[in-house]
Structure 1
C-alpha cells in the first residue's frame, strides 16, 4: 500500500512539475522548457516539504503509546468509521476505528473495533455500553484477542 501511495505521489508531483513548466514557458518568463521544468519540480518539492505529513500509520502510533482495543457490537448498519470515531472521541483519544464488512457483499456486519488511549478505555466503555445509538443498544467491552493454539509435540 505504501508503494502505491508513493508512486501516486510521484505521478502527481510530475504532473504538477510539467504544468508549472508549461505555465512558466507560456508566460515567457523563461524561454527554456528544460529550465522551466526544473523550476516547476523545485517548486513542487518546496511545496510538498512544507505540507504537513498526515501519517496513515496510526496503528504504530497507537502501539507506541499505551493503547487498548475496544469491541463495539450491535452497531447500526448505516454507521461509518467517522460516526463511531466522533462518538468515542467524546471520551478520549481515538487512534483507529475498524468496522467489519462482509467479504462477499461488502456490507457492514454491525460490529467493529476502536483503538483508544489506555487511560480513556474504561471511561468510554462505562459511558457507551448499553447506550442507545441509532435505535440500537451498543455492546461495548474490551476486545478479546484470539488465543494462540499450543501444538502438542
Structure 2
C-alpha cells in the first residue's frame, strides 16, 4: 500500500510539472490537482498484479517430468495449473512439430522434486481433457550416460 502511494505521489508531481510546462498560466495548485487526478485514474485502471504474476522461480531441488498423451490443443498454462497443485512449477515445454508447428501430444514439466514425486503418483494414468496422461521422470543425456557407465 505504501509503495502504491509513493508511485501516485511521484506521478502526481511529474504530472503537475508537465501540466505546468504546457500551461504556465495555470496556478501551481491546479496543476498539482490535475496531476493527482490523472495519476489516480492511471493507477485505478492499471491491472493489479496477482500472486501468480509475482511467483518466483523455485530454486530448490528440481525434477523434469515427461508428460505424454496430452491433448493436442492444450496450452502451457493449463498444464502448469494442473501440475501446480502438487508443487512449484518452474517451466512447461510442450513439443511442437518443426514443419507444421502443431503440438505432438507430449511435453516436459520442470518442478520441485517433492512436487514431481507427488505429481507422478497422482497424475500418471489420470484422465485430463479426455486423454489418459502418462507421467514419468524425463530421461536426460547425463542420466543415460551415468546408467551406461560412460563417465
TM-score w.r.t. the length of structure 2 is: 0.59
1:135 is aligned, of 130, 135, 148, to 130
Please state how far the C-alpha of 1:93 moved relative to its aligned partner. Answer: 1.1
Give distance in 1, aligned partners of 2:122 and 2:23.
61
When the two chains are superposed, the root-mean-square deviation of aligned CA atoms in Å is: 3.1
Q: Residues 25, 142 of structure 1: CA spacing in aligned structure 2 closer, same or farther, 3 A cutoff?
A: same
Long gaps (5+) in structure 2 = 1-14, 26-48
Number of equivalences: 105
- Runs ≥4 residues deviating over 3 A: 20-25
TM-score w.r.t. the length of structure 1 is: 0.58
Q: Which residue of 1 aligns with 2:121?
A: 126
Please state how far the C-alpha of 1:77 moved relative to its aligned partner. Answer: 0.6
Give distance in 2, aligned partners of 1:142 and 1:65.
17
Q: Residues 96, 24 of structure 1: CA spacing in aligned structure 2 closer, same or farther, 3 A cutoff?
A: farther
Give distance in 2, aligned partners of 1:73 and 1:127.
14
Please state how far the C-alpha of 1:106 moved relative to its aligned partner. Answer: 1.0
Please state how far the C-alpha of 1:27 moved relative to its aligned partner. Answer: 3.9
- Flag the structure with larger Rg: 2
Long gaps (5+) in structure 1 = 1-19, 30-50
Q: Residues 78, 26 of structure 1: CA spacing in aligned structure 2 closer, same or farther, 3 A cutoff?
A: same
